[in-house]
Structure 1
Amino acid sequence: MPSAAAEPPSHGFLLPIVGGAALAHLLNDMIQAMLPSIFPMLKAGFSLSFGQIGVIALVYQITASLLQPWIGLYTDKHPKPYLLPCGMVMTLIGIALLATARSYEMLLLAASVVGIGSATFHPEASRIARLASGGRFGTAQSTFQVGGNTGSALGPLLTAAVVIPYGQHAVAWFMVAALAAIFVLYRLTVWVLHHGSAKAKGLARNHAPGLDRAGVLRAVIVICILMFAKFVYIASFTNYFTFYLMERFALDVRQSQMFLFMFLAAVAAGTFAGGPVGDRIGRKAVIWISFLGVAPFALALPHVGLAWTAVLAVLIGLVMSSAFAALVVYAQEAVPGRVGMVSGLMFGLMFGIGGIGAAGLGKLADTYGIVWVYGLVSFLPLLGLATAFLPDTRGKQR
């Protein structure tokens, strides 16, 4: 039986639509990346501990993760196209709160409001990218995801240039990005209202049957293990790499932000490659390469000097990031007809695991030091061995 990727689509790959979703993802994740990038400034300005920094990350990411699968499940049955621009309005409000916060409690509120905006964005925008894929699901998902990773890379760079020199109020400049995203998402919503329903019906007719109940259960368990390994390790970089560099190599905040930008730029490049490669050689092969390929670099990172730290961080970002698009499309193929729910669950797992990981790593850093934490997390990619238990989706990828 042919897979969804192998069936003739009713339209080609719609680059303007997939590109628009990727651009919105860039703007959305650029705003999100700004939050951990100002953690050193908030830590000093509000006299926070590593544990309190971890709780801010947890509140934001848990807010986003808990809502995403429910939003996706609801909109699978009851489409709400205008939810996309409305969700970005919440992000706009969260930025304003963050720029004007005067207490730790206000920082937590701002983080939660930005999280609500993210929860509405990811499942719905991922659905649009799939609708416009023309059957090239991996390529569309990786293009969409690379927009987010590019935004995540630009966030620390813009923060170092705009926010760090001028203080907390300069966070308000990111409202410009939110306004631009609202415009892009409105245009995508218009396309969905005029063309998207026909595309959705075509995909619904052509999808493969997916896994049986036992196969889905086994796939979910393995995916959770892989997501835990990937996103706890990624959380160690996005939230604490700057602190690691400052403590181990005595860099200042702006210098450390440049290293973080290099890592996140490598993540964006690796993500872009993962989807098209998965369309050709299969999702499981990409997942194997992603986890086991990065393990030697991860194990070596805590034991090298500054120059090799930069090199290894780039290699880790390139190799490990290729897995996410493959995991998302694999899950969509395993449970066909539930694009919103699966996308929300996958992005929700990403945020939830990342948030719990950030909080846990913060507590460990307070107790044992940030350098010790990097020695511990270097073993996480070895959990990629669980890929051996991942069932094949019905219909091999061509």
Structure 2
Amino acid sequence: MLAAGHATVDFYQGAVPALVPFLVAGRGYGYVAVSGIVLAATLLSSIVQPLFGVLTDRWRMPWLIPVSMVLAGAGVAAGGVTDSYVLTWLAVALSGLGVAAYHPESARLARIASEGSHVRMSWFSLGGTLGFASAPVLVTPLLAGWGLGASPFLLLPAVLGAVVTLPAIRALSGGERAAEAAAPVSGSDDWPSFVRLTLVIVFRSVVYVGLSAFVALYMGGGAAGAVALFVLFAGGAVGTVLGGRLAGRWGRARTMRLAYALAVPAVAGVVLVPGPVAYAFVAASSIALYAPFSLHVTLGQDFLPTRVGTASGVTLGLAVSVGGLASPVVGAVAEASSLRVALACLIVFPALAWLLARTLKDPAPVPARPDEGRSAPSPA
């Protein structure tokens, strides 16, 4: 149920790139303008998500999960029918706020449900990845057939996801689990390692958000662009599950280093290899970039065992979304030279992630409990 809810929220993150070709065709937006729309989806999420993490470290807020789902859906639904660029930007930013509010509390509950298992946590992350992957499959046919005026229908998945998730929220937030809230949190926070992990995720975010924003246009838009987005997002589903299983065998840090090493030639292939073969490199890039995704979350929580909400807000929020801040730069480079040159600039970021990941080691995992995040945070 939590994975289904995660799919619902991340569907709206994937819906924004799927909207881009229609905004270009229907409203004449240029590269910089659509980069700003992508920025709107990530800016509030980047800034606000850690704040929600701090709040969930102090108070139980399970009600925030369904509310944030509806907010994320309402923003995207409104973005397609607004009559100005500013209103579209604000509507998409509202969706980003909903996404920001969702992740810290849901990740806390997912940690309880997974009982610290990397594989189980990867299934929670897989839900979000499948939500991403389904966005172009649902959004593109809807808007291609009915136009941007049909975007209010995109609110329906949010309502359905909120309803489906409610039983899991009740089960994980009450009864015996809630009675254990007074138990102390064990472990000490390793801030230096957490900061390095955060930078790794930021580098990963820049390349992934850049690809998700422009790969559809780079592959020609229309049906070809929708296929490219689906391959990009669906490849992430494979990578998410694969990463959890490899981590169980090789460890999280080693799996993360291998994934980023493989991401360098994969991203280069997207830019440099022409024709249909480029789709294979899109898939390879997505698999490599998503293999460490759920591992980032559990590593961050184990680096900051007394601040699980904060760790979740950063690893699932700030560091992931901050890549959107670089998308206008990618758009500006594309307009000044070409989209191929702009995407070629992304190749350096998985290399930087690999170099920094080499400095990280697996911490001893801290058992997950339902009271995590309920104690007052220890001094930094």
Q: TM-score, normalising length from structure 1?
A: 0.86
2:150 aligns with one of 170, 174, 190: 170
Does 2:365 match 1:385? no
CA drift at 1:391: 4.3
Does 2:39 match 1:70? no
1:241 aligns with one of 183, 207, 215: 215
Instruction: Name the % identity.
Output: 25
1:372 aligns with one of 323, 341, 344: 341
Rounded to whole Å, the distance in 1 between the matches of 2:147 and 2:283 is: 29
CA pair 195-133 structure 1, distance change in 2 beyond 3 A: farther
Instruction: State how 1:211-226 maps to structure 2 within 5 Å.
Output: 211-212=189-190, 216-217=191-192, 219-226=193-200
1:277 aligns with one of 228, 243, 246: 246
Rounded to whole Å, the distance in 1 between the matches of 2:328 and 2:123 is: 30
Question: Match for residue 373 of structure 2?
Answer: none
Instruction: State how 1:1-398 maps to structure 2 within 5 Å.
Output: 20-136=1-117, 138-195=118-175, 197-198=177-178, 201=181, 207=186, 209-212=187-190, 216-217=191-192, 219-246=193-220, 252-383=221-352, 384-394=354-364
CA drift at 1:352: 3.2
Rounded to whole Å, the distance in 1 between the matches of 2:76 and 2:284 is: 32
- The alignment partner of 1:64 has SS state of helix
1:85-115 deviation digits (Å, cap 9, x = unpaired)? 1222322431342232111011011111101
Task: Give yes or no for contact 1:88–1:121 (8 Å, CA) kept in 2.
Answer: yes
Rounded to whole Å, the distance in 1 between the matches of 2:135 and 2:72 is: 15
Q: Name stretches of at least 5 consecutive residues in structure 2 with no aligned partner.
A: 368-380
RMSD: 2.2
- Paired residues, what number? 366
CA pair 396-63 structure 1, distance change in 2 beyond 3 A: closer
Rounded to whole Å, the distance in 1 between the matches of 2:346 and 2:16 is: 22
Rounded to whole Å, the distance in 2 between the matches of 1:96 and 1:243 is: 22
CA pair 195-293 structure 1, distance change in 2 beyond 3 A: farther
Rounded to whole Å, the distance in 1 between the matches of 2:75 and 2:366 is: 44
1:361-386 deviation digits (Å, cap 9, x = unpaired)? 11211112111112221232211111
Q: Name stretches of at least 5 consecutive residues in structure 1 with no aligned partner.
A: 1-19, 247-251
Q: TM-score, normalising length from structure 2?
A: 0.90
1:106-158 deviation digits (Å, cap 9, x = unpaired)? 1011111101111111111111111111331x223211111111111110111
- The alignment partner of 2:114 has SS state of coil
Rounded to whole Å, the distance in 2 between the matches of 1:293 and 1:196 is: 44
Rounded to whole Å, the distance in 1 between the matches of 2:127 and 2:176 is: 21
Letter in structure 1 aligned against 2:226? Q
Rounded to whole Å, the distance in 1 between the matches of 2:85 and 2:134 is: 26
CA drift at 1:196: 7.2
Task: Give yes or no for contact 2:122–2:294 (8 Å, CA) kept in 1.
Answer: yes
Rounded to whole Å, the distance in 1 between the matches of 2:134 and 2:83 is: 26
Rounded to whole Å, the distance in 1 between the matches of 2:2 and 2:139 is: 23
1:184-233 deviation digits (Å, cap 9, x = unpaired)? 2322222233247448749x6575x2454xxx22x234223312221111
- The alignment partner of 1:164 has SS state of helix
Letter in structure 1 aligned against 2:126? V
